[in-house]
Amino acid sequence: MPDIDKAMEAAARALCRLAGHPENINFEGKPMWQSYLPEAKAALDAALPYLRDE
């Protein structure tokens, strides 16, 4: 079974790097990569139906 939380974190970190930001710098009290979680969730929500046998 895939670990969705790990996949979402990996996607958010990748989006953060793609935008040219350091992943672990603090932004609004949290690591910068966490600000990319909504975009990562949207990407995973779009992709998951094609990756599952549903």
Q: What value does the mean pLDDT of the chain take? A: 93
C-alpha distances (whole Å) from 46 to each of 4, 12, 23, 25, 50 are 13, 15, 24, 28, 8
User: Is the model's pLDDT at 7 over the cut of 60?
Assistant: yes
pLDDT bin (cut points 50, 70, 90) of residue 54 is low
Please determine, for residue 5, whether its predicted confidence score (pLDDT) is greater than 60.
Answer: yes
Inter-CA distances, 16 with 7, 49, 52, 54, Å = 14, 24, 26, 30
pLDDT tens column, 28-53: 999 999 999 999 999 999 999 998 87
How far apart are the C-alpha atoms of 5 and 41, rounded to whole Å?
10
- For the stretch 25-34, pLDDT in tens is 999 999 999 9
